[in-house]
């Protein structure tokens, strides 16, 4: 998303950020419990979609607002939950890394015309950062090994992560292009 305005935040940008904060919150409610306690949610799909459509700056702000809303207790996190305990629990690392993930993927999208492989590299890097922070916090709080953390937090999610990334790209890039054609970004 092109935000050439010299202003930090235009009304249009605020609307985009609010919309995608809501999209992330809604997608968080699509959650499948997994045996080792790390649920499969559509949050990463929403973060990737926001990054593709909004770019680095606005998707990062959107994901920051989302986690702040969750941290203060609003029921926007998976399972209509909220509260600081979710950020200091075994899955908190995944939540905490969402703004970083959004920035990395959004930055790659913003610069994909300068470097053809930027989006794929950014997508992989953003996802890997999400997994590393998530595994680290899971291992620390559950006193598990990295192998257990990888098995619980990454291995079962690799196929769905690929599917979610492809879907986000298939949906996000045409929307981004259409918004640009319409002069809305």
The percentage of the chain sitting over the pLDDT mark of 70, rounded to a whole number, equals 94
The model's pLDDT over 110-162, given as tens digits with 9 standing for 90+, comes to 999 999 899 999 999 999 999 999 999 999 999 999 999 999 889 989 999 99
Query: Distance between CA atoms of 7 and 139, rounded to whole angstroms?
Result: 42
- The total of other beta-carbon atoms located within 10 Å of residue 81's CB is 16
Q: What are the strands, taking DSSP E only, across 26-132?
A: 31-32, 40-41
Average pLDDT estimate for 24-34: 90
Q: For the segment 154-172, what is each residue's pLDDT rounded down to a tens digit?
A: 998 999 999 999 999 999 9
Stated pTM of the model:
0.91
Q: Report percent pLDDT > 90 for the chain.
A: 80
Residue 3 pLDDT more than 50? no
pLDDT band of 40, cuts 50, 70, 90: confident
């Amino acid at each position: 998303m092109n935000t050439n305005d010299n202003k930090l935040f235009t009304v249009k940008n605020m609307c985009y950020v609010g919309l995608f904060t809501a999209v992330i919150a809604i997608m968080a409610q699509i959650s499948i419990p997994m045996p080792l306690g790390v649920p499969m949610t559509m949050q990463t799909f929403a973060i990737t979609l926001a990054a593709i459509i909004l770019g680095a700056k606005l998707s990062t702000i959107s994901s920051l607002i989302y986690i702040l809303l969750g941290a203060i207790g609003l029921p926007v996190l998976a399972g209509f939950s909220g509260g600081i305990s979710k950020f200091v629990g075994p899955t908190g690392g995944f939540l905490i890394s969402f703004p970083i993930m959004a920035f990395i993927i959004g930055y790659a999208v913003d610069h994909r015309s300068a470097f053809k492989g930027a989006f794929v590299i950014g997508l992989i890097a953003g996802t890997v950062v999400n997994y590393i922070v998530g595994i680290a916090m899971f291992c620390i709080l559950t006193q598990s090994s990295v192998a257990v953390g990888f098995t619980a937090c990454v291995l079962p999610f690799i196929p769905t992560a690929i599917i979610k990334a492809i879907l986000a790209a298939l949906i996000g890039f045409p929307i981004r292009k259409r918004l640009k054609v319409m002069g809305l970004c």
